[in-house]
Structure 1
């Protein structure tokens, strides 16, 4: 029951179809649930992705931003001697997790803490694309400008 129906939002929004299509495909993108992750909104234009990477060292993790995606991957380095486990509950298998980034979203940085990888994202909309206020002039003001010109 992880699927969410976004169809009510389609009726009340204009121009957000791409956003809701991306949200629809998040749960059904063919990826496994490993490793688990959270996506958190930390401010108006700030986000935090937290990925559980227990058992991985920092040099075994990789983060790349390419083609509108953030790709997080991890691969354990080969050890000289594989331990003999009685029980192995901590999965350290290789993974690649892809996150589709919205327009003008970029990664600021990343850090590991207590077996979690935190990736900070920010949305920076260029000034030219930000909304501008358009002044409304009355017909009298327009005719006065025409007469004085």
Structure 2
């Protein structure tokens, strides 16, 4: 029995990759680390475009333990803490933890930079306005 999805419509050609992306997103349900996504309005005075800022709560992670990269059309943020064997804990309630948080980026999204301040990792993104394009397709007549 075949599965019918909204992307099987004959009017949506080439959207099969989007369907796979949506399936992958729905499976990623780990809530660590918590994050915010905010819209920052364009600053007309400086000419800065509207941007998005993803902020993750990464308390306890240093800059060297964090990795921000773009893999295909995904923003991947990884954190990897290393246990320090020379410490002797009487009680350990804060475990060294690893995480990977993935955000799927729309076509044209660009990462402007990342900063770490007071336990918060912020990643700024912009989406430049695409050029509006109209392309005339010639019709060939065969006899």
Same fold (TM over 0.5): yes
Q: Which has the larger radius of gyration?
A: 1
Question: Distance in 2 between the 1:85 and 1:70 partners?
Answer: 38
1:48 is matched with 53
C-alpha deviation, 1:43, in angstroms:
2.6
Give secondary structure in 2 for the equivalent of 1:124: coil
TM-score (norm 2): 0.65
Structure-1-length-normalised TM-score = 0.62
Q: What secondary structure, in the 3-state scheme, does the structure 2 residue paired with 1:28 have? A: helix
Moved more, 91-100 or 62-71: 91-100
CA distance in 1, matches of 2:24, 2:39: 16
Q: Give me the whole-angstrom Cα distance separating, in 1, the residues matched to 2:119 and 2:68.
A: 16
Is residue 112 of structure 1 aligned with residue 113 of structure 2? Answer: no
* Aligned residue in 2 for 1:67: 72
Q: Deviations over 1:45-75 (max 9, x none)?
A: 4100001100000000000011100000010
**Rounded Cα–Cα distance in structure 1 between residues aligned with 2:25 and 2:76:** 17
Shift in alpha-carbon separation, 1:78–1:92, aligned structure 2, 3 A = closer
Report the secondary structure of 1:96's partner residue: strand
Deviations 1:73-116 (A, max 9, x none): 0101342424415351x454000100000110011101111100
4+ runs deviating over 6 angstroms:
24-27
Describe the shift of the 1:50–1:85 C-alpha distance in structure 2 as closer, same or farther (beyond 3 A). farther
Give the direction of change, closer, same or farther, for the CA distance of 1:30–1:115 in structure 2 (3 Å limit): same
Secondary structure at the counterpart of residue 98 of structure 1: strand
Pairing 1:73-112 to 2, within 5 Å after superposition: 73-86=78-91, 88=93, 90-112=94-116
Structure 1: gaps (5+ residues): 1-16, 134-149
Higher helix share: 1
